[in-house]
Structure 1
Amino acid sequence: MRYLLIFPAALLALASCKQKTETAAETASTKSPLNGSWRLVSSKSITKDTVDTSPKSGIETVKLYNDTHFTFFTHDTKKGKIDTPVFSAGAGTYTLSGDKYTEHLQYCNAREWEDHDFDFTMNLKNDTMTQRGVEKVPGVVDHIIIETYVKMK
């Protein structure tokens, strides 16, 4: 007789449990296609007088993304044990809508770059990302950049 009372109570308890389900729209809005680590494979900086390409031999740049933030660092692969050691880094927030990509640089070792927005056109294809746009900070930089990254495994 006791089992006859416990069984309906257990069914009622199970029926009252609600599992949270995530809709496709919620998933899509929080999963950026940029998430992960990206290595710079080519970069071109174009000013009115010069074209500079990178990365130079012995220099590495990596960019990391989560759903809302990015960070990057550039360093020499000789761990600073060269005549001119290289290290630079920055981080901030970003937005991506279609191919329109904007970075808001909040932190940077080159402090005059901080609190500036940089607009780019971004192309993602498989494990390759290309961004093209203008980096302009009055009195500091005014150039077109074209950067290509590959996703790190």
Structure 2
Amino acid sequence: MSLAPTIQRYLDNQHITYKRVFHPYAETAMGCALAAKVPPKRVAKGVVLRDDEGFVMAVVPADRQVDLRAVNHFTNRLLTTARQNDVKILFRDCATGAVPSLGQTYNLPVIWDDHLGEEPECYLEAGDHRELVRMNRDSFLDSMKNQPHGRISF
């Protein structure tokens, strides 16, 4: 498996400039950062959350954790971490556990952490465990242009 078709279509249709970065197999966003030899603060980690209303994706740097209190405050919801089985169903064209940080391409509301927008470039999971998508700051901001953001990590 490589770049998830859903992600590739979105990036190409939105004319977002990106490069594919291949790396040795890694299962976590932090592991991908280390395998690709990029700073973990530049790797976007997508965390799927849920409540009775549905799902939300929080996108934070790989070296940080989602601050659920902050996310719940921003969204005015009471979200918790989604079950792995739900994530598998939502991201059918991705390897298990390789959640792309572009939840909007899968019709999920997204909230992203401001720390990512401060970096000169950003790397996102591509839908497998051997590839990242690299974007410069402007491309990352374009990909997140209609998504709310704030300080949602610690």
Please, what TM-score do these two structures have when normalized by structure 2?
0.31
User: TM-score scaled to structure 1, two decimals?
Assistant: 0.31
Higher strand share: 1
Q: Which has the bigger relative contact order, CA under 8 A and spacing at least 6?
A: 2
Structure of higher CA gyration radius: 1
